Amino acid sequence: MHLAAAPSCRRTHSNERPVLLNLAVETNDSSATAPGSGRSVVSMDGVSKVFSNGTVALTDMSVDVRPGEFVSLLGPSGCGKSTALRIIAGLGEPSAGSVNWPLSRINARGLPEGDVGFVFQEPTLMPWQTVFGNVYLPLKLRGQSKSAVRKQVMDMLALVGLADFADAYPRELSGGMKMRVSIARALVTRPKLLLLDEPFAALDEITRQKLNDDVLMLWRQSGVTVIFVTHSVYESAYLSSRVLVMKARPGRVCADIALDPPRERDESYRISEKYRQTCELVSDALRDAMNERRLQHG
Ligand SMILES: Nc1ncnc2c1ncn2[C@@H]1O[C@H](COP(=O)(O)OP(=O)(O)OP(=O)(O)O)[C@@H](O)[C@H]1O
Ligand SMILES: [Mg+2]
């Protein structure tokens, strides 16, 4: 199997730009994922973030995310992944630069009208509401009656495998089930863009793998564009059509790696040579980001 790793851009002077790698064998066309090509669902243009205590969390971050991409933001703790995601979601203001939504209708707050779903690391469910009530909430906030959207909510619960738990309360669910409710709640408004901030970090490995497969199934079925924050090389290599590797202090993207779209991912992919090689290359990029030298090549 041919796996091309073709750095098409490398600059080391102060005007640093991300290294572009194309590991996609389906298109083998790095321009397909090069920043600036085609219309984006969202673009960060020269975004910097300095917190009031002086911490420079992000500097000059420019990222284009195009329709249907599954983008992972991978980087060490503190490199600004959550800050970037929160700024995209309008939960934080950039200190410089802008976030743009070329394909969306923009509301008075400069945000796309109902186009973004956010899944936090904690499921953040309302304990006094049933599973149905939690997933119904975003529609309720839009003024939609329960009876009008009952089918929409139940369909979403069926999609995440929780149709039989509509009347259960969060305290009756496992951690993985709570996270499924959180994902259903983020998707029930049918957003164009789904943002997930390390959603499975607190779960055991088997549950995490199962939820990875569920997220991919939802991505395939709904056509939603995804930005997925993770610490895990293996998770990013399994899930993504593109991995953006971030560097810390200050946070910025240092490698932009195009992969084949994750249309067919299963247990056999996890033990395939292609997956192993992808993990190795993504891992190398992460080591570079952390200024660590590889001890061994192989
Ligand atoms: N509200 C805040 N006020 C001041 N500094 C902050 C604030 N939020 C984040 N930071 C700082 O900004 C930097 C980036 O933080 P951020 O949470 O975005 O990192 P991260 O990549 O998501 O880390 P992790 O992987 O641990 O979640 C860190 O140095 C952090 O201490
Ligand atoms: Mg974070």
The model's pLDDT over 94-130, given as tens digits with 9 standing for 90+, comes to 999 999 999 888 888 778 877 899 999 889 999 999 9
At 47, list the tokens.
């975004």
- The one-letter amino acid code at 222 reads S
The bridge status of strand 19-22 relative to strand 225-230 is unpaired
Query: Given ligand 1 and candidates 47, 51, 236, which is best to mutate, with the most ligand atoms within 8 Å of its CB?
Result: 51
44: β partners: 63, 99
Domain ranges of the chain: 19-26+34-115+195-289, 126-190
Q: What is the pLDDT of residue 1?
A: 38
**80 C-alpha to center of ligand 1: Å?**
6
Nearest CA to ligand 1 atom 28: 78
At 241, list the tokens.
């059509």
Nearest CA to ligand 1 atom 14: 80
**198 C-alpha to center of ligand 2: Å?**
7
Residue 94, preceding bond cis, omega within 30 degrees? no
CATH architecture, range 19-26+34-115+195-289: 3-Layer(aba) Sandwich (3.40)
Query: Given ligand 1 and candidates 59, 61, 73, 82, which is best to mutate, with the most ligand atoms within 8 Å of its CB?
Result: 82
The three-class DSSP label of residue 278 is helix
* pLDDT grade for 237, boundaries at 50, 70 and 90: very high
Q: How far is CA 246 from CA 30, 260, 292, in A?
A: 19, 20, 14
The model's pTM: 0.88
Residues in contact with ligand 1 (CB, 6 Å cut-off): 51, 53, 55, 57, 75, 77-83, 231, 251
Q: What is the mean pLDDT of residues 205-221?
A: 90
- Answer yes or no: are the C-beta atoms of 89 and 116 closer than 8 Å: yes
Q: How far is CA 182 from CA 132, 173, 192, 235, 286, in A?
A: 11, 12, 17, 19, 29
